[in-house]
Amino acid sequence: MNLQNIGVIGAGTMGNGIAQICALAGFNVTLLDISESALQKALATVGKNLDRQVAKASLTEEQKLAALDKIRTSTDYCTLHNVQLVIEAATENLELKRRVLQQIAAQVSADCIIASNTSSLSITELAASVSSPARFIGLHFFNPVPVMGLIEVIRGLQTSDATHALALELAQRLGKTAITAGNRPGFVVNRILVPMVNEAILVFQEGLASADDIDAGMRLGCNQPIGPLALADLIGLDTLLAIMEAFYDGFNDSKYRPAPLLKEMVAAGYLGRKTGRGFHTYG
């Protein structure tokens, strides 16, 4: 497939980051969301990110303008009719993703590749939401998308070799490193990372150490670039809870039980950076 046109569903943090790197790689991007205000906010974010790269001399003004010109926005799924690949980056909710995927499948051609940026949900189960599930695959990008060098490529039971090969080609064209993972909750990276963050929350909940000391301990003692509680705030505590609950349900194993404090903080609306308060506070 001569891949040129990509659709991205969801203009939030992940969606606008995916749109940005696709446009920089020369793809024509249709960024779709239900809200015009969300789309305008996404374009502003992409513009600021590109301005930052120009200021660092890693991008020219001409390259920035060319990338912005590659992105068009829409609130109508009908605008996806000519795309060859769609990446769904909606909120990590199974029923929501199913509805979005069904709307995508109703508008795109029969040979259009459909991918989900899910970080924990079953690719096999999501693939069952679309016609011709052999064309469905998981493409798990990491936050912040323009900075992080990895894409997890996840094969569902139905995913064809051709779909997998195209996903690997896309990762290469985007300048990312791809690793292929099987369809298990959390795949590879989150399967290891998120329970570690949950354990840090349990340590904090027990009063063993302050949030600052827990983060400093893991940064300085394990050479991690960011402490686990600061990372939880960056990911979003609601997203973290959704992933842990998916693990708990998927593996039926008590070692994946979400920390009670995590559930309580989400109930209180303390979701991390996006609300200004999590395990740390933000201005």
Confidence of residue 223 (pLDDT cuts 50, 70, 90): very high
Asked if residue 58 belongs to a known ligand binding site, the reply is no
**What's the distance, CA 215 to chain centroid?**
24
pLDDT at 92: 83
How many percent of the chain have pLDDT more than 90? 93
Residues labelled as active-site residues: 119, 140, 152, 190
For the segment 127-167, what is each residue's pLDDT rounded down to a tens digit?
999 999 999 999 999 989 999 999 999 999 999 999 999 99
Sign of CA dihedral 90, 96, 101, 106: negative
Domains of the chain in sequence order: 5-182 (3.40.50.720), 194-273 (1.10.1040.10)
Confidence of residue 261 (pLDDT cuts 50, 70, 90): very high
Within 10 angstroms of residue 122's Cβ, the number of other Cβ atoms is: 20
- Report how far residue 23's alpha carbon sits from residue 150's, in angstroms, rounded to the nearest whole number: 18
pLDDT at 114: 98
Non-local CB neighbours of 84 within 8 Å, separated by 6+ positions = 1, 2, 3, 4, 5, 6, 111, 112, 113
Asked if residue 10 belongs to a known ligand binding site, the reply is yes
DSSP-derived pairing of the beta strands 136-141 and 150-154: antiparallel
Asked if residue 274 belongs to a known ligand binding site, the reply is yes
Within 10 angstroms of residue 237's Cβ, the number of other Cβ atoms is: 27
Confidence of residue 113 (pLDDT cuts 50, 70, 90): very high
pLDDT at residue 93 above 90?
no
In the DSSP assignment, the letter for residue 177 is: E
Confidence of residue 91 (pLDDT cuts 50, 70, 90): confident
Asked if residue 92 belongs to a known ligand binding site, the reply is yes
Residues 74-83, mean pLDDT to the nearest whole number: 97
The pTM is what? Answer: 0.89
